[in-house]
């Protein structure tokens, strides 16, 4: 039942420690082990979901016996229930929760990514599981990827999203046309240039992914720009940690209003975990609402906000590319900011849609599992 040499076992009533032959040591609490019991008595055979609630377990749970059997499995006995559980020690090592992880910034990129920006082929992504996996893996790693030779028929952007998940419909519809309009409901529907931004920060939850597909691109202008928000956040924290802390501590409001829509959501410009590592970026100067922070914070917050905006304009942070008919890009809308240069009205037509991250991650994991099973 194990995929590596059996570890040494030490236990007390409250916990158990496994020591592997490479010196790694991992501690597991008795309650955690009992909560993760395997077998038909504890989990549904068809869907692997628990058949008990945490409150069903004894409050005085204790490990009374622990040993490795001849097959390398960990055998545990618990009091006061008298339950005997069997664990794959390889599974335990993969799920060790007290492992000391080296702290480091998430992998990020700057303008030099333009040198390795290689579009994925749509036909291959559509027809070959390995090509679809590679495209999704690029999105997962970089938060950004390109597709080429996507049919320029209207609505095809939704078909691309459906390769991995579901279209996230909004007040803009199932899909939206990015063209110059005489009376635009959003500055995106003009020919003006747009500074880099994340989309829809006024929505709760914010769409995790945006796809934009070029149907027409006549004349000059309209070049696209992307910036890695994680790299911008890293630069801010490195040069002005106080500014970084202000932007992740204080939540501000974003708002969008039209004749039939009124959306507002409050979020931090830099969402972070407990250790200060960035999880998501929300930046859209067009839709940030009037700041309503405490008076003693306002001036400092504006300083931090301006500093972050200046970093986002750094030329060496930006990747610039020109989209032609059949090109499509996808961005992690919680991480990568996108923008564009101005263009001649009527000479450019893109269609876009939104999707959510859970569908992409699920498809990526299933493909990874399937491709690994097919590998020799």
Domain locations along the chain: 8-94, 111-368
- When pLDDT is cut at 50, 70 and 90, the band that residue 2 belongs to is very low
Tokens 């200046």 -> residue:
310
- When pLDDT is cut at 50, 70 and 90, the band that residue 184 belongs to is very low
Q: Is the omega angle on the peptide bond into residue 130 within 30 degrees of 0, that is, cis? A: no
User: 111-368, what's its fold?
Assistant: Double-stranded beta-helix (3.60.130)
121, containing H or E segment: strand 120-121
Q: Which CATH number fits domain 8-94: 3.30.465.10, 1.10.260.40, 3.30.2020.30, 3.40.50.12780?
A: 3.30.2020.30
pLDDT of residue 274: 85
| Encoded tokens for 318 | 């930006």
Name which of 72-76, 86-90, 295-299, 346-350 the model is least confident about.
346-350
| Encoded tokens for 270 | 């830099």
pTM of the model: 0.83
Looking at every residue in the chain, the average pLDDT score rounds to 92
Q: What is the 3-state secondary structure of 44-110?
A: CCCCCCECCCHHHCCCCCEEEEEEECCCCEEEEEEECCCCEEEEEHHHHHHCCCCCCCCCCCCCCCC
- When pLDDT is cut at 50, 70 and 90, the band that residue 302 belongs to is very high
Please check the confidence at residue 5 and state whether its pLDDT lies above 90.
no
Average of per-residue pLDDT across 324-338 = 97
Beta-sheet pairing, 328-332 with 209-217:
antiparallel
Please check the confidence at residue 4 and state whether its pLDDT lies above 70.
no
Name which of 138-142, 172-176, 182-186, 239-243 the model is least confident about.
182-186
DSSP state of 206: P
Average of per-residue pLDDT across 137-156 = 97
Pairwise CA distance, residues 34 & 43, whole Å:
12
């Amino acid at each position: 039942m194990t995929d590596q040499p059996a570890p040494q076992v030490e236990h007390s009533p409250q916990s158990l420690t496994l020591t592997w032959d490479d010196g790694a040591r991992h501690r597991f609490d008795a309650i955690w082990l009992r909560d993760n019991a395997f077998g038909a008595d504890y989990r549904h055979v068809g869907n692997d979901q628990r058949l008990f609630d945490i409150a069903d377990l004894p409050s005085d749970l204790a490990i009374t016996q622990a040993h490795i059997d001849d097959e390398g499995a960990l055998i545990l006995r618990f009091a006061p229930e008298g339950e005997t559980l069997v664990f794959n020690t390889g599974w335990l090592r993969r799920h060790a929760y007290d492992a000391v992880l080296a702290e480091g910034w998430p992998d990020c990129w700057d303008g030099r990514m333009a040198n390795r920006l290689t579009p994925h082929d749509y036909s291959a992504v559509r027809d070959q599981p390995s090509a679809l996996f590679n495209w999704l893996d690029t999105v997962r790693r970089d938060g950004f990827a390109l597709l080429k030779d996507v049919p320029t028929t209207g609505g095809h952007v939704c078909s691309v999203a459906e390769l991995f998940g579901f279209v996230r419909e909004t007040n803009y519809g199932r899909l939206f046309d990015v063209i110059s309009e005489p009376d635009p409901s959003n500055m995106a529907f003009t020919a003006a240039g747009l500074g880099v931004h994340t989309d829809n920060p006024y929505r709760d939850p914010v769409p995790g992914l945006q796809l934009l597909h070029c149907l027409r691109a006549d004349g000059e202008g309209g070049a696209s720009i992307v910036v890695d928000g994680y790299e911008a956040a890293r630069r801010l924290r490195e040069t002005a940690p106080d500014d970084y802390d202000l932007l992740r501590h204080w939540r501000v409001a974003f708002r969008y209003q039209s004749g039939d829509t009124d959306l507002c959501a409050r979020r931090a410009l830099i969402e972070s975990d407990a250790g200060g590592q960035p999880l998501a970026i929300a930046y859209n100067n067009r839709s940030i609402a009037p700041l309503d922070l405490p008076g003693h914070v306002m001036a400092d917050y504006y300083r931090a906000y301006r500093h972050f905006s200046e970093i986002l304009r750094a030329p060496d942070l930006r990747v610039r590319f020109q989209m032609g008919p059949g090109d499509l890009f996808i961005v992690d809308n919680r991480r990568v900011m996108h923008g564009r240069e101005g263009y001649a009205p009527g000479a450019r037509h893109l269609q876009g849609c939104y999707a959510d991250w859970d569908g992409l991650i699920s498809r990526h994991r299933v493909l990874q599992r399937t491709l690994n099973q097919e590998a020799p």
